Amino acid sequence: MLLGVGPDGAVRARRVAVTGIGAVTCCGLGVEALWEGLVHPSISGERRVPGFDAADYFGPKEARRVDAFAAFSVAAAEMALDDAGELGVAAERAGVIFATGVGGFDTLAEQVTVYNERGARRVSPFLVPMMMANAGAAHISMRRGWRGPSETVVTACAAGTHAVANAARLVATGRCDVVVGGGAEASMHPVAVAAFANMTALSTSGVSRPFDVRRDGFVISEGAAALVLESWEHAVARGARIYAEVAGSGSTADAHHITAPAPDGAGAVSCMEQALFDAQLSPGDIAHINAHGTSTPLNDLAEARAISKVFGEPGPPVTSTKGVTGHGLGAAGAIEAVASVMAIDRRLIPPTYGCEDLDPEIHLDVVRGEARPWEPGPVLSNSFGFGGHNGCLVLLPPQA
């Protein structure tokens, strides 16, 4: 990552290592369940997290006072921190940047019903701390006693990627030695589902088919993912296992429409180019792209056009994990960042589940059918959200 550009050219920042990963997804609890679901996909139907009990992290009483999205945040972060091992970091030098699309929507909707049916005096006094979007980040920092930055990113479907990028930037600039970055979402309340359905964003077939000619919308999901990011020097000094390096990021806006992407993918193009510049790489250096690939007709075509403009055709191998995970909204980018790290670590690119008949207007090397072995190289992970928010990450295999 860069600190900026000075009179003598680009000024490089501290290197950022990924030393811990955690995930709570519809594939199950933990990164191994996520990976198994991605490389041997067989999922269908509703994409909810199975077997999750918030009391495992908060205890029975406190668990009733935490919305599911915040509980998912804590679970994913704790998994990643356990994976990273003993960090030996000062509280003031450790931070949390976590994302969500809407925060505690389920709690808000339930308490509105309580108000309408039972009156104002029956509304829970815990409504505000349960629904507020920053609750996930707050709970993570409180559990660890970390007194560095604790912030929340809310940029719709790009939020998870932006959170990981912002977390990496805190490490790269020297503000923190360790930061947990990630995102969480738990907004599958019937009102939210109805809203997405009525805007014709959801798949009417209930099948997520990224880049397939039959794609008809996304399949909504819930979950969370987290990455422990620390300075390369700090990670090496404590003998940590380093999964990958966060080498660059980009953030731009389409400035086009509140829900539809710019048809020519101009905002996505500039975001990918910005991420490449931040990593000091050229398009030819990228060995794999983890696409946003929501399975909506407009998004997939716009992203494909943008990728073609930057990388040519067919370009590097492309995959979308949303055929398996569905679209986790504010959690999606973080889940995909973890999947990208695992693709590097496991030397496999997961297939794009649901993509069987590639849209003839899409001229990309979409990985289909089976996981593809590869020699790990730089990975670009894309997220593009409602509001025209674009986010990209560049991840590298670990090298001394």
The pLDDT tens digits for 68-90 are 999 999 999 999 999 999 999 99
Under 8 Å between Cβ of 155 and 384: no
pLDDT of residue 43: 87
234 counts as catalytic: no
What band does 45 get if pLDDT is binned at 50, 70 and 90? confident
Under 8 Å between Cβ of 167 and 180: yes
Q: Out of 139, 234, 292, 389, which one is annotated catalytic?
A: 292
pLDDT at 400 over 70: no
What band does 44 get if pLDDT is binned at 50, 70 and 90? confident
Q: Cis omega before residue 314 (within 30°)?
A: yes
Q: Return d(Cα 9, Cα 7) in angstroms, integer.
A: 6
pLDDT (mean) for 351-360: 98
β 379-385/16-25 pair status: unpaired
Within 8 A by CB and 6+ apart from 61, the residues are: none
What band does 199 get if pLDDT is binned at 50, 70 and 90? very high
pLDDT at 158 over 90: yes
pLDDT (mean) for 142-169: 98
292 counts as catalytic: yes
Under 8 Å between Cβ of 290 and 348: no
**Predicted TM-score (pTM) of this structure:** 0.97
pLDDT at 286 over 90: yes
Structure tokens at 111: 């308490």
Domains and CATH numbers, the chain: 18-396 (3.40.47.10)
Within 8 A by CB and 6+ apart from 379, the residues are: 286, 287, 288, 289, 290, 340, 343, 344, 394, 395, 396
Q: How many other β-carbons are positioned within 10 Å of the β-carbon of residue 2?
A: 18
Beta bridge partner(s), residue 230? 17, 178
pLDDT (mean) for 315-328: 98
pLDDT at 250 over 90: yes
Q: What is the chain's mean pLDDT, rounded?
A: 97
Q: Out of 327, 355, 389, 392, which one is annotated catalytic?
A: 327
Q: Which of 233, 250, 270 is nearest to 380 (CA)?
A: 250
pLDDT (mean) for 287-302: 97
Which backbone phi and psi does 396 adopt, to 5 degrees? -115, 150
Q: Which of 337, 309, 370 is nearest to 301 (CA)?
A: 309
pLDDT of residue 218: 97
The alpha carbon torsion through 188, 59, 145, 233 (nearest 10 deg) reads: -70
Torsion over CA: 122, 124, 127, 128 (sign): positive
Torsion over CA: 9, 10, 12, 13 (sign): positive
Q: Which of 339, 324, 362 is nearest to 289 (CA)?
A: 339
- 342 exposed, middle or buried (CB, 10 Å; 0-12, 13-18, 19+)? buried
Q: Out of 27, 157, 271, 355, which one is annotated catalytic?
A: 157
Place of tokens 């069987």: 356
Q: What is the pLDDT of residues 204-226, one digit of tens each?
A: 999 999 999 999 999 999 999 99
Under 8 Å between Cβ of 363 and 255: no
